[in-house]
Amino acid sequence: MANAGPIDEHVASMRRALRGPRGARRDLLAEARDSLLDAAEVYESEGLPRAEAERLAVSDFGTVSEIAPGFQAELAVSQGRRTAGLLFLSVPLTAFLWAVIWRVFPETPRIEQVKPDWFGLLARTVDLIQLGVGVVGGLALLALGRGSRRFRRPALLTRWLGVFVWVQTPLVGAMGLALAAAAQGPVGFTGYLPGLAVALFSYVLSAAQLYHATRCLRCTMAVPALSAADRGPSLSRS
């Protein structure tokens, strides 16, 4: 950006410093640029050259190190909302689909015989954990949505949401594999296309959950002063 003015250079520096959902980051930067341009126009109307007007607008706006933590906190909340929404919708749906598959799968006496005593307990545990994850997702979505203005440190909730997903998703996956190995049921794939389809759907959703959880962690660790920014005023109008 050799020919960029002070405002464009400042916005570009903020873009490099921020991590978060692309759309939310684009909106925040566009809002910041519009504010800078408005301030520069005021200075320019007072007779200052354009370059000087932009430099003063940037100076009034604040340096990247001063502004980025507040913007990053907003991006972290936005990423947290996306992750919470994914959990709220996908985890109960996955549990429901597996319940349907296990119910309609034509079990044989051979399959019944290979089920260990712990199979039923573990299956119910997996169902309860998945439903609980959906509840956590719903509560987090509420806290990071309408409740974000009352919640003292919403970005910290995003961080813990990322940690939570990284703990529960592999745990539930391991339990599911144990159930599949023990029962040799619909997740065995062979000759049962509905079971294969639901299994692949589950893997895709699990990968998406881990991806979003990783982005939650990246967003909340992108700026060292994030914890202080959490206490600042919200920049989002949503």
Task: Give the total number of structural domains in the chain.
Answer: 2
More confident residue, 135 or 185: 135
Shared-domain flag, residues 86 and 36: no
Furthest CA-CA distance within the chain? 90
My answer on whether 84 and 183 are in the same domain is: yes
Neighbours of 86 (CB within 10 A): 19
Same domain, 211 and 148: yes
6-56 pLDDT per residue, tens: 999 999 999 998 999 999 999 999 999 999 999 999 999 988 999 999 999
Residues 37, 7 contacting (CB under 8 angstroms): yes
Cα–Cα distance measured from residue 207 to residue 202, given in angstroms and rounded to the nearest whole number: 9
Q: Which residue has the higher pLDDT, 25 or 119?
A: 25
pLDDT at position 32, please?
A: 94
CB 75 within 8 A of CB 14: no
- The answer to whether residues 93 and 51 belong to one domain is no
Q: Does position 186 have pLDDT exceeding 70, yes or no?
A: no
Do 84 and 178 belong together in one domain? yes
Domain co-membership, 104 together with 166: yes
Give the separation between CA 37 and CA 186, rounded to whole angstroms. 60
Residue 237 in any domain: the answer is: no
pLDDT by residue (tens digit) across 70-91? 899 889 999 999 999 999 998 8
Q: Same structural domain for residues 58 and 84?
A: no
pTM: 0.77
End-to-end alpha carbon distance in the chain: 32
d(C-alpha 83, C-alpha 137), whole Å: 8
- Long-range Cβ contact pairs of 46-53 (< 8 A, separation 24 or more): 50/5, 51/5, 51/6
For 202, the domain range is 80-223
